[in-house]
């Protein structure tokens, strides 16, 4: 994890149980789908993301680096709340910026103390879905065969959503 990047700590069990209930799918499938969505989102924004699941999670107990930006933690015999509290505290002590994602009120109070941002799981899911829709729309607006003219800047071919993300990154906003 890069020391200057925002660290998004996600209570994966809390968020994916909501998805599994809403979509009437298996919790394990919900976890894998959620990790895939977060990997796409994390790569696009340049945040470091730690998704913590109670028990084994989708990849078994322990930490697994899924992409350069995303680590998935299966807590084994520990519970996700304790792991999130511990990581939040150690990251803040190290001077890292922390964004906590959970619906758990007690966890928001304890692990969220001093966090730069706290987001409910349902709001985070909406953010992921919005990002996914914007990416699909951008892909359909420009034919794959359309190559940009040779005398243009890289930024000339960016859609508004990508340009806005790059501007936020450049300014250091999350």
Average pLDDT of the residues in 109-129: 85
pTM for the model: 0.71
At residue 133, does pLDDT exceed 90? no
Given this structure, which CATH class describes domain 7-127? alpha beta
Beta carbons within 10 angstroms of residue 62's beta carbon = 12
Domains of the chain, by residue range, sit at: 7-127
What band does 152 get if pLDDT is binned at 50, 70 and 90?
very low
pLDDT of residue 122: 86
d(CA 52, CA 71): 8
Q: What is the pLDDT of residues 7-66, one digit of tens each?
A: 999 999 888 876 656 566 677 888 888 898 888 887 777 789 999 999 988 888 999 999
The predicted pLDDT at position 141 comes to: 58
Whether 64 contacts 76, CB under 8 Å = no
- The confidence score (pLDDT) of residue 45 equals 76
């Amino acid at each position: 994890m890069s020391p200057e990047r925002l660290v998004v700590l996600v209570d994966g069990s809390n968020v994916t149980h909501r998805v599994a209930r809403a979509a009437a799918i298996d919790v394990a499938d919900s976890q894998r789908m959620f990790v895939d969505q977060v990997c796409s989102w994390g790569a696009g924004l340049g945040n470091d993301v730690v998704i913590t699941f109670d028990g084994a999670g989708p990849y078994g107990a322990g930490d697994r680096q899924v992409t350069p930006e995303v680590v998935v933690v299966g807590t084994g015999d520990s519970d996700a709340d304790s792991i999130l509290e511990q990581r939040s505290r150690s990251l803040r002590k190290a001077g890292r910026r922390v964004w906590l994602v959970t619906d758990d009120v007690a966890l928001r109070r304890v692990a969220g103390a001093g966090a730069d941002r706290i987001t409910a799981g349902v709001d985070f899911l909406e953010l992921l879905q919005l990002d996914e829709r914007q990416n699909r729309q951008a892909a359909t607006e420009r034919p794959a065969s359309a190559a940009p003219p040779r005398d243009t800047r890289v930024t000339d071919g960016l859609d508004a959503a990508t340009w806005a993300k790059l501007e936020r990154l450049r300014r250091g906003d999350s």
